[in-house]
Amino acid sequence: MMNPFLQVAVGGAIGSVARFGLYRAIPVQGFPLATLLVNVLGSLVMGLLAALLAQRGGDWAPLLLTGILGGFTTFSAFSLDSLTLWERGQGTAMALYVAASVLLSLGAVFAGLTAGRGLFA
């Protein structure tokens, strides 16, 4: 079996190229359709692979989940983490995780843009 770090590196390259290809194939027309498709498709595949690897062993998890899907979209990892909390009966933790992820990420992007525009203008 390939070293897990090498699996993530190889998979990340594959996933990133796949995401870039999808973005190039779907032109932006006022709505980020390509991003929406990447997030939904990545989440669907994450669920399928997580179920498969749970049944058959997770030797390929670094390549498939962290690497390829992580390069394709990290939203799939967010989705799986959220659903896992829900399935464990941790609905409050899930709601907090979802709200914190969205709000803190939006705040961080805003802070980064504001700082970057000030620093690099």
39 and 73 in contact (C-beta within 8 Å)?
yes
**Cα 30 from Cα 8, distance rounded (Å):** 33
Q: Do the annotations mark residue 35 as ligand-binding? A: no
32 and 63 in contact (C-beta within 8 Å)?
no
Closest CA to 15 of 69, 55, 59: 69
Annotated binding residues for Na(+), as ranges? 70, 73
- Binding-site members are 70, 73
